[in-house]
Every structure is written in structure tokens, then in C-alpha cells.
Structure 1
């Protein structure tokens, strides 16, 4: 295979060029680099800047997909659920969901049957089974309207979606991949059995590279990239569906989440979020605009408020919304699926590999829970096309910071607090959750809060900014406050603009100092 390099120069050659820095692109880059392929990943914006940071933050099988008879997809997602929980117990953890029973929407027998399938379609070791509950006695019943007297509880998982993308990219780099953010693929043509690609950096400079294969993981832009920069047609297409979320002050005190059934058959989640908040979503609306400009509408905000008000005693209005976010999901287009909620969340991999020509693999559809399996299948196909027989390896491999003994986060947290007793409890918890065993790299040689450097906001010190800049490709306040963390939520609205400006000024005056790669090598997995 081509010799790896961390410095991209004009004419550099790679075995694989991955286009797209969302979860699928980062997952493919990680898997391929771990099999010994030389990999270049380019992303036109920041990692997870679009769809992959705009999910409902769930690692789940998709209980509602059983209603559409998507048994294969649900089983695959349930199998991946526990694999991922073990791989990164700092950014993913089990979550119990409460489903209040509304007899006018779905009969109890149907819900029980669905939950039985959900419990048994795949092996389950970390998560407890579903059960019925009396809402008049269970803590989850207290915030709900008095007419709700029974319900069900089942298990799924929570994920910090944007950090999941960053950790996959980081693991890719530590296995030898090169990751270029704010770098767009402008054009690529086949010549001499390889791809000749033109990349454009944010400063307008052009970089020409060669690649043995291209993986098109551009998400909502997969079709645009195919027909434009790559000049190819495809057998599949994606349907763009907008999903919007709102965040309010905390609506309940316990640690369970809710799944609500709406009269229009949509499912709405209400999830404990960032300690002080409740995350509510999502909508499903056909979208035809620029995916980079997606935003919630007043009608969507009202719809989500109305959905919550059917169930909670505490009523909310749009004035109670603290923050919103929207994303465009590139769902696999299917005939006969008029309702966006009914469009499959499964994926298709399309390989274009004419004889003696460089292969092109495009990703259509998918969901965050199945990203690792998607990446594994993609690299299996690319490996055959590139005559690289290295086996799959990611199923049992932790993500950076996830090498926590027995995936026991609580024990790890207690030890971390003992190691750094001078850290305030909330800050120690956030560092442990965000960075896992890598948190010590954020702290460095500091022995006090003062040694962490300037405080840009409560709990945000210069040492963390330096780590995010040098290790995790952060380049702006937006990258830090709303993707690699959600600290923006915890900044007082009146000071958010000045905090943002201060961080942006720091980035503008602080050159990047990429940290040396860890000693992990692809040969350990290949």
C-alpha cells in the first residue's frame, strides 16, 4: 500500500480519498486506515457540521420502524447498539425510555408485542428488558397529565453525536489517515487507473492529489457530488428530510426519557439534556433547499410544543425554547413512501468499478446507530476492489478515550476525581464524559484551575481550547461551543456574543500545533 504521510503535498497519492466528514465518512476513514490503507479525508466545513450533529442523539434500534416491518434494519441497529456502548462508554450510555399508553392511538397488545420483538431481535447484555408500569406509582408518571395511568419502559442508548464523529476521525488519524477539514472536493477524474482530484482549501488555495479509490460519503450532498465534481450517474438517490429539535429548561427531574405517540403517528422524544434542559424532537418534513441553510420554522416549533403539551402538566410555548437546531437527513429514496416518516433509515452502498478503472463507492441513506457496520461493509467492498484483503477490526475496538475498564464509566469517574481532586465536581464530570481516558491530555501538567489558563466562560479554560485546536480540528467558537461541547447552552444569553468573540479572537491569534500521533499502528488490527 501507499506510504502514509501526515503532510499533504501537491500530487500526494492515497489508496482512498473519503469525501465527507460526517459520521459515515469518519467511520469509513477509520476502518480503512486500520486495515492498512493510506487514507485522506476531506470535509468542506467542520467535522459533523451538518446532519451528524443534528440528530436526536440516540443509539437505538428504532422501535417505530417495526410498524413498517423494517425487521432487518431494527435487528442490525440493535446488534450495533451494544457494540457501540462498549466502544465509547464516555460519550454513549444506556437510557431508559417511558412510553405512556394512549388507548386511542395504539392498543396495549400491539405495544407489548413490539417491545417483545425489540427485546429479542438481537442479543442484549448491557440493557435491561422492557416492562409495563403504573404511571400513578412510577416517578415518570408525576410530570404527566392525570389521565395517563399506565405505560411501558424499555431500553436504548444515548450518544454525543458530534463527538462520535470527531473520535472516529481522531482514530482514523492515529491509524495513519490524513484529515483535512474546510477542504472541498472541486473535481475528480479517472486517469491511468486512479483518481486525479482537485481540492480547495478555505483560503482558496488548490491542492491536487491522486487516489486509488474514492468514497463519496457526502450525506445530503451525495447526489450533487456525483453529478457535479465526479461527473457520474447513480442507481440510487436520497430524499432530503428535515428534522428539527427544540431545547427547553428541564421539564422533569428523573433520568428517564419519554417517547410520545402523536395523533399523526409521528413519534416525539423528550430527553434529559445537558443536566438543566430537555431536548424535544423531531419533526419530519420534506426539504428542497440548501442543506447548509436548514433552520426550524415557527410551525415546527409550535408543533413540538403542542406535542409536549398533550402529555405534560407543565405547558410550554415557543417563548420557553432556549435553543433549536435542524438537520437534513439524506434518506434512501424508495417508491411508494409518500410519508417522510415511513421512508427507510437503512442504507445502500453503490460501487462503480469498471474494469481497469479506479473504483468509486457512494453511500446512500443510513442512520447514526449503524454507521460502524456501514463503514465495515464499505471498506470490505473497497478492499476487494483495491486487492486489500485485510479483515474487519472495529467491532471490538474502543474509540479514543473509550478504553475504560469493563466499560464502567462510574468507576472511571470516581478514579478520575481522586486523581484530580482540585477539579470542581461538575468540571471533572464534563471532562470525563467528553474525553474519557484522554481527559488527562486536556489537563496536561496543570495542578490547579489557574494552571488551566484563561477562563473564556464558566468551565471553559484555555487548556481545553488548546487541546481542541491541536487534537480535534476545532477552529472557531462555533466548533467548540455547539459541536465538541454544548457549552453554548450554559452561557448566559446576554454574554454569549462576547464569549463567542473572545474564543474566535483566541483562535485567530493562536497557531495550530498538531500533536504527534500515538503509537497505535494499523498493523495491530490488519
Structure 2
């Protein structure tokens, strides 16, 4: 590759699409720099429903291509990261359904057969009153049971960034793009962090800024603006566990929208999502009272136990940057992605490409990255071929995707460590867990205990290897312990990091 520029590819945005493209590109031999104005996965990519799924309801809107691509990716991603992705069975009650049973059954038949399902079990029909998975529901009618996968969404982003960095990419968090302009056949971009501004040059620019994609375009003179982004807020609530079992529920509302109820962090149930139009500039999203009421009403419609506002333990919200297909209903806006390649105005600099990403979903991020590299291929003729389809992510190299087998091996290696601690670490870090534990024999060897099994050694490792800078990074996007640590833990972690 040319040495004329500081980097071949400058990627703006540290969500799942930016991290996925960085990993793919550096693995093909390109030099890569990624800048993210906040933390990795600080916004939309950590505010999902935590699913690797085809999107059953998208079939209703004719999104067959998207659903098929997502279904193919589902088991592929599971194989790449079996520590943070695992199968989940969904119970879809037909009670209260605005859709006739034949329509749901047809959709599930397509769902089972569109994507080459191999390891996940097929759909079954059950009678809720005779099946333990119906316990906790008000009605005991017919239900369908199908499969998708769970994902620790923010960890998926971090692992893609970690793999990219291990292969040579520069990942710069808390670093924002000030502006960018075409110059000398490439790009001259001003970036800024806590130490001030500097200019970097690149052969190509990738705008993967998610909800801020239009904002980035506004920082580039003469950027094409004929593609629109539709901002839709999705919010979730976390309540005390509503039912026993490790299955999830897909709940159909009278307005035809879908809400999931999913086991979360052992003691809780995650309920979401909403679809609410976001007006104005993108910002940190928060749930509204209207959304909270909607989700609580959905739970009350189906479950014996109806939580109230006072029962809500945590909420989160994110803004989805959907491609604007002019759909009247926010729920009907396409979840497919659009890649827009802008080669600039005609003239000497017309071959300095900018690729902007509109839309997308976590499940299809890897394919999106491949398609992004196809768009950029004419500008990098020496780049290598696609390679990510079978390549595991850090910690995911478990034979036969056998998490239980790996956990048993870990327990034999660290016999004095609590089983719950080892399981949590293995779920987060997979086969890289010994890099954290090293020669420790007991929890006391891991340093200060901040609560819920979070120790100083893990905090140190996250700061050194996963770009964690503050307590929120650690508690809510790396370890997922924010709901478990005692009061004052965040402050204690902040003091520790400052020291």
C-alpha cells in the first residue's frame, strides 16, 4: 500500500459497523485508523435487544433478502464467538395475536428454511398450559417456539476492535472528527482528543458514525447528501425476573408491534423494544414515560406478574440510524443497510472515496463490512480477499463451540476460584480469561474487590486491552456488572482508575 498517507482507511465511528469494517480491512492488508468521539459501543451498539436474529417480523414487510442474510449470519457469528453468543428459544404465544395462526406458522416455516439452519432446533408448536415454558403467563393457549441467538452486544464491538488492533489497526477512542477535505488525491482530516487537534491523511474515508452519519457529512465540503437517515429511538426496561426458565418470549401487541421479554443477568427480565421517531439532532437517548407505560402494559397483557414503574431496575435507550425509505410508520422503516460511495466532484481529486453507512443491524455487521470492502476494492487493488467468515473473535476459539467444556477446563485449572466468578469471566473473555487470572489461585490474589466479583486485576486488564477509561465503560459495556455491584462501586472504580 502507498506510504504517501498516514493510513489507507480512516474510519469514523466506533460502533459495530465501524469496528467490523476496521477488522475486515486490516485483515486484508490495509492500514486502518478508527476514531470514536466517545467509548466503543457507547450509543446504539450497546442499546440493542441483544439478539443475533433474522428478524421474524421483517418478513411481514417483505424484507426477505435481509432476513435470509441475517439467518445465514446467525450460526456463523455463534461459531465465531460462542462465549458471548449462544442459542435462545423464543415462545411466541398466539393469544392476543393480531395475526392469524396460519400467517405466523408460514413465517416460521420460512424462518426455519431460508438461512441454512444447521445447529439450532426447528420450530415446534406447544400448548402453554401443558408446557413448563408457559408458566407465568395469564393464558394457556397455543404458542409457537423457535430459535435465535443472544449476544453481548457491546462486547461484540470491543472484540472486533480488539482483533483489528491485534492485526495492526489504530483504535482511537475519545477522539472526534473535526473536519475532512479532499487533498492530493486523498483525505486530510482534522481529529481532536484531550491533547488537542492534529491532521491525519488517508486514502479513503469511511463514515460509520451511526446516528451522526449526517453530522459527519456536514463536516466534509461538497459531500453528497442525497441519502437520508431516519432516526428511530428504541428503549428497554429491566425488571425483576418475570418467569422461570432460560427461554424468551416474543409478545404481539394489538398495534402489531413486537416486544421481547428475555432473561437478563440471572435475576432480571429485559423488556423491549419500542419504536419512537427521534426528532432533531442525535444525542444521548433516554426512555420516555410513554415508552415505559407501553412496555409495562405489554407485560401486564401477557404475564400474571405485572411490574409497575417502581419495579423498574434500569432502563436504556438508543437511536437507530435507519435508511430513510419514507415509510410512514417508524416500525416499518427498513432495517436493511445502504452503502453510499461518494467519489467527490469531478476533477483532480475525484478518486478520493468516502463511503457512508446508512442503517444496518448487529446481526449483519460482518456482511456489511464485506460489502463495504467490495465498494472500496477498486481503490485498493492489492487488498486481500474476504476472510472473516470463519475467523473466530478473541476468546472464541473453543473446539466445537463447546462453552461448557471450556468452562470445565478453566475450573480444573483454577480449582479455588468460585464457580460463579469463573463462569462470568469465561462468558466475557472466553479463552483469553487466563490472560486476566494468570497465576492467581484465589479471588484475594486479584486485588481490590469492587463487588460482584469485579477485581482490580480485571479493571487493569480492561483499561490496558479494551480501551476502558471510566466506571461506566467497565460496569455497563465491558463486564455487565452495573446491576450487581453495591452502591458506591462506580465511585470506587473511578478513584482507582484516577490513581
Partners in 2 of 1:360 and 1:97 — Cα distance?
Answer: 40
Pairwise CA distance, 1:293: 2.4
> In structure 1, what is the equivalent of residue 330 of structure 2?
340
Partners in 2 of 1:192 and 1:80 — Cα distance?
Answer: 39
Aligned with 2:157 (options 147, 152, 165): 165
Q: Which runs of 4+ in 1 moved over 4 A?
A: none
What are structure 2's unaligned runs of at least 5 residues?
A: none
Aligned pairs for 1:108-507 within 5 A:
108-145=101-138, 147-201=139-193, 203-229=194-220, 231-335=222-326, 337-354=327-344, 356-492=350-486, 495=487, 498-507=488-497
Pairwise CA distance, 1:291: 2.8
> In structure 2, what is the equivalent of residue 514 of structure 1?
none
* 1:28-75 Cα shifts (integer Å, max 9, x gaps): 000000000000000000000000000000000000011111111100
Pairwise CA distance, 1:418: 1.2
> In structure 1, what is the equivalent of residue 42 of structure 2?
49
Q: What TM-score does the superposition give when structure 2 sets the normalisation length?
A: 0.97
Partners in 2 of 1:356 and 1:71 — Cα distance?
Answer: 36
Pairwise CA distance, 1:230: 5.3
Partners in 2 of 1:2 and 1:81 — Cα distance?
Answer: 37
Pairwise CA distance, 1:152: 0.5
> In structure 1, what is the equivalent of residue 33 of structure 2?
40
Aligned pairs for 1:71-110 within 5 A:
71-102=64-95, 105-110=98-103
* 1:226-251 Cα shifts (integer Å, max 9, x gaps): 02245512331110000000001111
**Taking structure 1 as reference, are residues 356 and 287 closer, same or farther at Cα in structure 2, changes over 3 Å only?**
closer
Partners in 2 of 1:131 and 1:113 — Cα distance?
Answer: 13
> In structure 2, what is the equivalent of residue 523 of structure 1?
none
Q: How many residues align?
A: 495
Please give the secondary structure, in 1, of the residue aligned with 2:283: helix
User: Residue 97 of structure 1 contacts residue 256 of structure 1 at CA under 8 Å; is this kept in 2?
Assistant: yes
* 1:362-413 Cα shifts (integer Å, max 9, x gaps): 0000011000000011012212222234100000000000011111111111
Partners in 1 of 2:445 and 2:285 — Cα distance?
Answer: 41
* 1:139-191 Cα shifts (integer Å, max 9, x gaps): 1111100x331100000000000000000000000111000000001011111
Please give the secondary structure, in 1, of the residue aligned with 2:106: helix
Partners in 2 of 1:171 and 1:103 — Cα distance?
Answer: 45
Cα-Cα RMSD: 1.3
Pairwise CA distance, 1:306: 0.4
Pairwise CA distance, 1:290: 4.1
What are structure 1's unaligned runs of at least 5 residues?
A: 4-10, 510-526
User: Residue 19 of structure 1 contacts residue 43 of structure 1 at CA under 8 Å; is this kept in 2?
Assistant: yes
User: Residue 196 of structure 1 contacts residue 209 of structure 1 at CA under 8 Å; is this kept in 2?
Assistant: yes
Partners in 2 of 1:104 and 1:454 — Cα distance?
Answer: 51
User: Residue 383 of structure 1 contacts residue 389 of structure 1 at CA under 8 Å; is this kept in 2?
Assistant: yes
Partners in 2 of 1:215 and 1:267 — Cα distance?
Answer: 33
Please give the secondary structure, in 2, of the residue aligned with 1:293: coil
Pairwise CA distance, 1:204: 4.8
Q: What TM-score does the superposition give when structure 1 sets the normalisation length?
A: 0.92
Please give the secondary structure, in 1, of the residue aligned with 2:8: strand
> In structure 2, what is the equivalent of residue 518 of structure 1?
none
User: Residue 186 of structure 1 contacts residue 229 of structure 1 at CA under 8 Å; is this kept in 2?
Assistant: no
